[in-house]
Structures are given as structure tokens and as C-alpha cells.
Amino acid sequence: MLLVNLILILLLGGALVWWAERFGDHWPRQLALAIVIGDLLYLLRGLTFIAPEKFALVPEAINPDSWLLAWSAEWIPRFGIEFSFAMDGLSLILVLLTLVLGAIAIVSSWDEDNPRQGFFQANILWTLAGVIGVFLAMDLFLFFLFWEVMLVPMYLLIAIWGHEGKSYASMKFFIFTQFSGLLMLVAIVLLAIVHHGTTGEYSFSYFDLLDTPLEQNTAHWLMLGFFIAFVVKLPGFPVHTWLPDAHTQAPTAGSVILAGILLKTGAYGLLRFTLPLFPGASLDFAPIAMLLGVAGVIYGAILAFAQSDFKRLVAYSSVSHMGFVLLGIYAWNTLALQGAVMQMVAHGFSTAALFMIAGALQQRLHTRDMDQMGGLWRQMPRMGAVALFFALASLGMPGLGNFTAEFLVLVGLFAVDPWMTAAAALGLITAAIYSLIMMQKAFYGAPDEGRNLQDFGKLEMTAMAVMIIALIHLGLFPQPVFDLVQPVLDSMAVEVAPISQLQVAP
């Protein structure tokens, strides 16, 4: 029941937080933060009851009992739909990332004067519940339900508490993600029908559908239904255009959750569902997917370079950095896959921090235009110092998690296609340029002496310290993450024939 309780705590906590707004704005904030931290501690306590040796076992794709945790119950037995949840090393890492960044998102909005504070914090908790459901659901119908659940509160966060163009941005976000999600639903239903035609039984269970025999044509079309839905959320080129608008108009907490957590659901879906369910079709499609990844890396970096809006620059940089995830997944060898997972985690921390800084600047200066900034380091030295750290992390400074991730992806990709590797490496060069220009425009130069700006306080610095420590640890000691995900990657290798036999030395 631990897996179900993780979701229920956030769902019910959201309702409680909404109710608490009648007692003042401070109660929803404190209660929401306590609920998320409590959920995180509840998960960590539950992990202590798992035998240590189980973390090293390869989870069998057809046997949920071999996973770290699993729970299921009947829901709609006539159609083989059930409440089925399971956790392995990959989903554990992403659930931990969700809860940590969820707490940071609440902190990022602590001093913002958001109307209906209880409903605002409730939508944050409900978004986190939907994301955790996505990472844990092992019934494809249930997975789709959570996929849609997480969209609604995020839409409300942008549409109600966003900035000047919030209506357009929220509608664009919803249309892109909803339409692509419906394509995935059609693919899920058709896959279940094919499974019924083969076995005589309806099932939406991931563990049952893995073995469904598919004709080559059918497999390719169904795979595209999943691929499009996940790449839109990633987001990948050319279906990324909703992201800059959504990020620019979202409140700070919405941007933190969107960049740090929601984008990772797309990468997770590709890893968990698209390749294992449709191995042959996915590997046939791999060259196109990697080409889209390279295009995203270069295109996102060039557009980030051209921005004067702080939040749009960080948003386009996300398109570029998530292109490395797409490259790592479809290169499909040990190094590239480990790099893709590391990039999901490291990008979550570094970009969430940059959006938190962007939100703080907009709150203080009432502008996102970097041409109207300058000299902010002298007026807000603590913010300037952490901004420099995360700018260096984003551009791939050695010793930090982002460098480890992108280096592994490029090394793994080189074994598959050296020319694509060379092209993707151009994104690293451009990242250094736009990151340093961002620092130069916003924090260096002559300050406006007429400004009276408040620097980061203890609460914001605590949140920043958590992300700084996480990125340093991921850069210098990445092995714990690799140890958690390697058994999962080994289990997927059974379902998906590797493009290359490149392996990591023990």
C-alpha cells in the first residue's frame, strides 16, 4: 500500500490545503510544504524495509514481484483493467526527484502574493500526485488516467496565476498535450485489442502486453502513438513550441514543476513503454529519433542564444538539454542510457533553480527583460552567486551532474553515429555562450542605484543549497544513481535488442 499512499497523501493533502485557505494565506503554504516533506519521509522510511540485496536484482519485466515494490487490485475486470503500481530503481529516482522539487516549488512561491493561496497550493500537490502516478502505474489505462490528471492542475496554475499572456499559453499547453495524449490512448486501446485477439483475454497490464506479437506495420503505427505523446511532453523538436510560452507565462512554482518534473514524464514514457512494448519498431525508428534529438539540441541552443527574456532563455535551453535525453535513449547502449537518466535528474535540479531565480527577479524587478537588468550581483550577492553556479551547471561544468550526463550520452552516441555526436557537441559550445551572456546581462555591469532589492533569504538559500549539493554529488559521486538504474536497464535489454554492444566496465 505504500505506493498508493504516496499518491493519496498528496491528493487528500491538496483538498486539506484548499480548505485551510479560510484561515489565512500562511496556513496553505506551511501545510503544503509539510505534506510534501512528510510524503518524502514516508517513502524513505518505507525503503528501509526493503532488503538491500533487492536493489541489485534485475526486475523481471513479466514478474512484478521481482520489483522493489508492487501492489495491485481489481478495478474493471471485464476489460482486464486494474489498479497496478510497481516501483523499480528508475521510478524510485524519479519519485524522489518529484517530491524534492515539489517542496522546492512551494518554497519558490513562498513570498508571492498569489490570490486564493489554498487553491494554488492544492494544484501544486495534485500535479505532484499525477506525476507520481505516472511513474508508478503499471496498467496502461491507469497510466493514461494519471497522464491526464497531471495536466489539469498544471493548466490551472498557468491559466489562473500566470502572467500577461497566460490564457494563450495555458490553452496552447493543454491542446498540445491533450491531443498527443489522445493519440496514445488510441494506441493503448488498439494494443489491448490485438492482445485480446491473440490470447482471448483483455488486459491493459504492462506485464501482459510486453509479450503481445504484432505485425510490423501495426507495431510501427502503435509505436508512433506512444512516441508522439512522449516527445511532445519531453519536449522534442519540432513539437516543442508550447514549452517557451508555458514557461514564460507560468508562475514560478509552475515553471519549477514543469521544467524539473513534468518534462521527465516524457523521457520516462519512452524508456518504460515505447521501446520495451515495440522493440523492433522503435529500433527501426531510432535514426529518425536521434536526428530529432540532434535538431533539438542545436535548435534550442540557438534560440536560447537569441533571447532577451530571462525565462524564455531558460525555456529554450531546456529544449536543448532534453534533446540529449532523446539521443541517449535511442542510442540504446549502457553509457548512453545511463547518461540519459542522469540528465533527467541533473536537468531537473539545474533548470528548476534557474526558473526559481527568474521568478525571484521578476517579482523584484517586474520585468524578465535582461536588457533592463545589470549589476544585480552587487545588490543581491547571494542570488548572484547561486545564479553563477547554476549557469555553470547548465553549460556542463566538469564536476557537476550535467557534465556527467551529457558526457556519457555523447560517448555512448559516438559508438552509434560519430557524425551525430559531433553535431550534438555543438550544443555544448552554444550553451556556454548563452549561459555566460545571461550572467553578464543580468548580474554584471553597473547597478541601478535607485533600486532597493531584497536578496535571497534563509528559506530560498536552503532550497538552493539542496539543489547545489545534489548537483555536486551527481557530478562527483554518480555511482549510486547508476547502481539503482542499471538493473532496470538490464531488464529492458532483454526486451530490446541493443543497437550497439558497448558496455560499461565493472
**438-479 pLDDT tens trace:** 999 999 888 777 778 888 889 999 999 999 999 999 999 999
Between CA 277 and CA 290 the distance in angstroms is: 19
pLDDT of residue 229: 94
How distant, in Å, are the alpha carbons of 99, 473, 486 from that of 244? 24, 29, 33
pLDDT of residue 64: 75
Q: Are 364 and 275 in contact (CB under 8 A)?
A: no
Q: Which three cell numbers stand for residue 21?
A: 485557505
Determine phi and psi for 369, rounding to 5 degrees: -75, 115
pLDDT of residue 343: 95
Between CA 474 and CA 79 the distance in angstroms is: 43
Q: Which three cell numbers stand for residue 433?
A: 555562450
Residue with cell 515495440: 278
Q: The whole model's pTM is what?
A: 0.93
Between CA 14 and CA 483 the distance in angstroms is: 34
* E strand or H helix at 69: strand 69-76
DSSP 8-state code for residue 396: T
Between CA 168 and CA 174 the distance in angstroms is: 10
pLDDT of residue 35: 96
Determine phi and psi for 191, rounding to 5 degrees: -65, -40
Number of helices (H) and strands (E) in the chain: give both, helices first. Answer: 22, 2
Closest listed residue to residue 222, CA positions, set 195, 241, 203: 195
Between CA 173 and CA 185 the distance in angstroms is: 18
pLDDT of residue 65: 74
Between CA 286 and CA 290 the distance in angstroms is: 6
pLDDT of residue 54: 79
pLDDT of residue 428: 85
As a dihedral over the C-alpha atoms of residue 295, residue 238, residue 354, residue 165, rounded to 10 degrees, the angle is: 150
Residue with cell 508508478: 136
> Three-state SS for 343?
helix
DSSP labels, 86-110 = EE-HHHHHHHHHHHHHHHHHHHHTT
Q: Which three cell numbers stand for residue 332?
A: 540504446
CA 363 to chain centre: 25
Q: Are 61 and 210 in contact (CB under 8 A)?
A: yes
Regions of the chain with pLDDT less than 70: 61-62, 494-506
pLDDT of residue 61: 64
